[in-house]
Amino acid sequence: MSLATFFTRRSWRLRPLALLLTAAVVAFCFGCKGSLPDDLLIDSNPTALVFVKTESNSTLNSFSPGNNNLYMLTPISPNGELRPLTQMSAGAVADPEVSFDGLKILFSMRNGWNDRWHVYEMNIDGGNVRQLTTGSHDDFDATYLPNGRILFTSNAPNIVDEYNKQMAETMHVMDADGQNIERISFNLSDDFDPIVTRDGRLTWTRWEHHGQQNRFPVFFTKPDGQGTFVLFGPHNRNFFHPRELENGSLIAVASTRVNGDEGPLAILRTDRPETRAADPPRAGDYEIITPQVNMDGPPFPNGAFKYPSPLPDGRLIVSFAPPHENEGEADWGLYTINRDGSSLTLLYNDPNMNEFDAVVVSPRPIPPTLPSTINRSMTSGMFVIEDVYNRQSNDGQARPNKALKEVKQLMVIRGIARPSNDRGEIGHTEFERKQVIGVVNVQADGSVAIRVPTDTPISFNTMDSLGRAIVVKRNWIYVRPGEQFEKCSGCHGNRGTTTNPTPMAATMPIPDLSLPQNQWADGDFSFSHALEPIISQKCATSGCHVSPAPAGTLDLSLAKNTDTQFSIAYDNIMNRNLVDEPFSRRSRLADKLLGIDEFAGAGTHPGGANALTQQELQKFIIWIDLGGQYR
């Protein structure tokens, strides 16, 4: 019998708790073993669960005021005692996390429309509630750090993400009393659900939206923000709500969606170092343990999962919604499931509410405290890339030819965050604002060394002899003060491997682009700033590229198009498929200007007295390679 047949909508919305004990005798399962559910046998276990009980279906830091509260279930059993820990009637709670000694709970709470989300702490009995963060911003996802401080996410930087243009949360740390807040992540989109793993590092889901790339890989870093790098993130899979298992693997929810965090359960084999950066992943790198559940969004004919977390007896506690057509019909309850995906069994469900984010209330070992090596007197950090030719990724980009020494230079790019008061369109592409801060030479062995400004989202383009981008790094990296990445093996190389142990670039003077005198004087290559002055002087003159445009030519007049608020020139160039941003090597406009490929033999364009200088040609190429933004 399929799950779709087995479930009837709302059929398991039973109350009171006594009825749940009867319901739990029947296991909802993927490949059931046929035995009675273990839930019936653990009533003597004093371990408890704390979870969110809410009227809302959404779990991505949204706000829906109502009777939404934290609850505790003691013991973890269908007939355990259920007790509210908060008493909200027109607010909301989220993100419970238990202290290492099992005595306190961190959580997020918003008291109403006139309030903001902030971090609170309480005793496990619901007493001694105290507010840790304040301000006209939102704080989420708090968790205890081994050194006694608290990690959380916050939109206090007042920037909007690169896709929805909603307030973006990045990671921060603070003292146990809420003082001395410091930002430790510098992503341009959201950071979700950070946890502390047994080795003392932080792991979380990071939203990466850099142009056409739009994904949610799992990242890791140290508690001071150093060593930030992708932990697990093939290009065609997203992973939400990661939690660590006893062997160092992660349990998470797999998805192919951007704004959907429900789907099947997946175990990520991040306990194996060779697994972490493989792209595409190899057989066994991760396992979907509930393959009957689709990962491409509703309808969910076999139900869907959120918020998996390990239980002390070896099973998982999960939020599960039986088959549903859309998000509004989902009835999320708490279930247990074996780690092979079998014996999905109802634990608790209120038919009028949804239950999310259950975590065990129990003491657990404190991970090691990783000492910070930040040098706060420095304003730069260093990258040493061993070999720009070492590409193991299947991301659709070119693989430059090392034998031909095809890569000549590395362009260093800064991501420009958009403040919350600027959410309008900036062009006809998916890229946000970027600024070139410098270009450095690539050595004969493919190595590059560079110093860059700290706490700044940085990206790179490798460039050919014509200044065109060969490979565009489509995520943001950064360094903390004084941090040194001395063994970047290349794009998507296996973690910890060395492709060039003695890079030439490390033996030479290292350019420091954190110094203003070493930066480009003007790194703004937006169309309105960099190209319109050239077009005005050399293209829209002498009856060429004017309005109305002569037959066979392009109208490049700079008057604003009232429909788009961009110039007619920009609209026409972008609408004629002349630009394949961010790849000038695939763009007909670059070929036309350079007089190459399709236009070989025609000479550079325009010609004669209006011929572009080398610097002007480079501006067009860089504009394409940065993403083709208007402003």
Q: Render 24-84 in DSSP notation, one character per residue.
A: TTSPB-SS---SPPGGGG-TT---EEEEEEES----SS----BS-EEEEEESSSTTSEEEE
- Does residue 284 have a pLDDT over 70? no
The pLDDT score that the predictor gives to residue 41 is: 37
Residue that has been written with the tokens 């000694």 in this structure? 101
Structure tokens at 307: 């918020």
CB-facing half-sphere around the CA of 31: CA atoms within 13 A: 9
**Residue 329 in 3-state DSSP?**
helix
Nearest in space to 470 (alpha carbons), one of 394, 395, 400: 400
362: CB partners within 8 A, 6+ apart:
47, 48, 98, 102, 312
Residues 39 and 311: beta-carbon distance below 8 Å: no
- Residue 436, token pair as written in the block: 């070139």
Q: State the greatest distance between any 2 C-alpha atoms of the chain, in Å, as a whole number.
A: 90
Residue 4 banded pLDDT, cuts 50, 70, 90: very low
In angstroms, what CA-CA distances link 523 with 381, 427, 433? 20, 18, 11
Q: What is the average per-residue pLDDT within 84-91? A: 93
Do residues 88 and 55 make contact, with C-beta atoms less than 8 angstroms apart?
Answer: no
- pLDDT for res 496: 56
Query: How far is 185 from 168, CA to CA, in rounded Å?
Result: 12
pLDDT band at 29 (very low <50, low <70, confident <90, very high): very low
The strand pairing partners of 50, in sequence order, are: 72, 359
CATH topology of domain 3-314+324-361: Neuraminidase (2.120.10)
Which among 622, 629, 579 is positioned nearest to 467, based on CA atoms?
622
Neighbours of 39 (CB within 10 A): 27
Between the alpha carbon of residue 291 and those of residues 117, 310, 627, the distances in Å are: 36, 19, 37
448 has pLDDT over 50: yes
- Strand duo 484-488 + 380-385: pairing: parallel
Q: Is 433 left (phi over 0), alpha (psi -120 to 50) or beta?
A: beta
Written as six digits, the tokens of 295 are 């990962």
Angstrom distances, CA of residue 158 to CA of 137, 161, 189, 402, 424: 8, 10, 11, 43, 16
Average pLDDT, the chain: 88
Flag whether pLDDT at 291 surpasses 90.
yes
> 472-476, 491-495, 611-615: lowest mean pLDDT where?
491-495
Greater confidence (323 vs 10) lies with 323
pLDDT tens, 494-506? 555 677 889 999 9
| Cβ(276)–Cβ(270) below 8 Å | yes
Look at residue 104 and tell me whether its pLDDT is greater than 50: yes
High-pLDDT (> 90) share of the chain, %:
74
Quickly state the pLDDT bin for 287 (edges 50, 70, 90): very high
pLDDT, tens only, 616-629: 999 999 999 999 99
**Range picked from 5-14, 472-481, 541-550 for highest mean pLDDT:** 472-481
CA angle 300, 305, 309 (to 5 degrees): 175
Tell me the pLDDT band of 450, cut-offs 50, 70 and 90: very high
> Rounded CA gap, 289 and 281, in Å?
16
The helix or strand, by DSSP H or E, that contains position 621, with its residue range, turns out to be helix 614-625
In this model, does residue 40 exceed pLDDT 70?
no
Out of 51-65, 258-272, 432-446, 575-589, which region has the weakest mean confidence (pLDDT)? 51-65
How many helices (H) and strands (E) in the chain?
A: 6, 35
Is the sign of the CA dihedral 350, 351, 355, 358 positive or negative? positive
Parse the chain into domains and list their residue ranges: 3-314+324-361, 380-518, 527-625
Half-sphere exposure of 583 (CA within 13 A, CB side): 12
Evaluate whether 301 touches 4 at the Cβ level (below 8 Å).
yes
Give the three-state DSSP class for 147: coil
- Prior bond to 323 cis, omega within 30? no
Q: What confidence category does residue 36 fall into, taking pLDDT thresholds of 50, 70 and 90?
A: very low
Query: Residue 200: how many CA atoms within 13 Å on its side-chain side?
Result: 15
CA 238, CA 253: separation in Å to the nearest integer?
Answer: 8
Distances in Å between the Cα of 462 and the Cα atoms of 402, 459, 514 are 12, 10, 20
Give residue 318's pLDDT: 98
Whether residue 8 is predicted with pLDDT greater than 70 in this model: the reply is: no
Task: Average the pLDDT over 403-423 and give the result.
Answer: 95
Tell me what pLDDT residue 544 has.
Answer: 79
- Residue 435: the pLDDT is 96
**pLDDT, position 65:** 78
Closest C-alpha among 254, 250, 61 to residue 170: 61
Which pair of tokens denotes residue 512?
A: 């420091």
> Range with the lowest mean pLDDT among 2-16, 33-47, 604-618?
2-16
As a whole number of angstroms, the distance between CA 246 and CA 610 comes to 68
Q: Side chain identity at 156, as an amino acid letter?
A: A
CB contact at 8 A, 261 and 60: yes
The residue written with tokens 């200088």 in the block is: 613
Tokens for 587, please give them. 């763009």
With a CB cutoff of 8 Å and minimum separation 6, the contacts of 123 are 103, 104, 105
Provide the 3-class DSSP secondary structure of residue 282: coil
Residue 259: pLDDT band with limits 50, 70, 90: confident
CA gap 106, 491 in Å, rounded: 38
- Least confident range from 27-41, 119-133, 188-202: namely 27-41
Mean pLDDT throughout 507-512? Answer: 95
Region 168-191: what's the mean pLDDT?
A: 97
Q: Please say if the pLDDT value at position 480 is more than 70.
A: yes
**Lowest pLDDT segment from 124-133, 303-312, 495-504, 525-534:** 495-504
Predicted local distance difference test score (pLDDT) of residue 495? 53
**Banded pLDDT at 492 (limits 50, 70, 90):** low
pLDDT attached to residue 490? 64
Lowest mean pLDDT among 96-110, 381-395, 584-598: 381-395
- 106 membership: H or E segment, kind and range: strand 104-110
Strand-pair partners of 411: 439, 461
pLDDT at 228 over 90: yes
